[in-house]
Amino acid sequence: MNEVTAAVALGQFRKLDSIRAHCRSLSRRIMTHIGHLKGIQFRRIPDPTGDSGFEIYFWLPTAELAKQFMAALMERGIPCDRMTGTYSHYAREYCQGAYCYHPKASPFRHFAEWPAKGYRAVDFPKTELLVDRVVSIPLGTLYRTEDADVIAEAIQEVHGELMG
């Protein structure tokens, strides 16, 4: 890391507590409005003081319902597409394509068949059942209280339409 990058990182690090507090507040506000919705299973947070508040995760009963739910939210302008934490390591492009640094230095270069066992979705049936049913709602520093209310209202509307 060069000095300029370090200076920017240090400046951001100084804001971390306020950023986290803001995102946690948004998350709590949304959860207050949607926490009662039937058929939605929320991520268990064993240590709320350690939660960043940057995303709300929940699971729906089926993969098809999750897909429909996300499409309906995105039609309303609510971002909820797959992002970090909502897909598995083995599903990442560099794993599926056996890419990792230069081909001669790739840790995958010795495998005759690719994806090899341990890097295929079929090797993780329980994980696949979870990741296909997850909906992730990102939150960020630029989101306002009003944005949290719009997100909560959209989730309630979609829930009523699809799971009513």
Geometric angle at alpha carbon 21, from 8 and 19, rounded to 5°: 20
Listed in order, strand segments (DSSP E) in 12-160 are 41-42, 55-59, 134-138
Note whether 26 and 143 are within 8 A (CB): yes
Angle between helices 3-14 and 16-34 (to 10 degrees): 50
Sign of the alpha-carbon torsion through 43, 85, 18, 143: negative
CA–CA distances in Å: residue 99 to residues 95, 131, 161: 6, 23, 42
Per-residue pLDDT of the chain (164 residues; tens, 9 = 90+): 899 999 999 998 999 999 999 999 999 999 999 999 999 999 888 888 888 889 999 999 999 999 999 999 999 999 997 766 667 778 888 888 888 778 788 888 888 888 888 888 899 998 888 888 999 999 999 999 999 999 999 999 999 999 98
Q: Reduced to 3 states, what is the DSSP secondary structure of residue 96?
A: helix
Single-letter code of the amino acid located at 31: M
Q: What is the pTM of this model?
A: 0.81
For 49-72, the pLDDT digits (tens) are 888 889 999 999 999 999 999 999
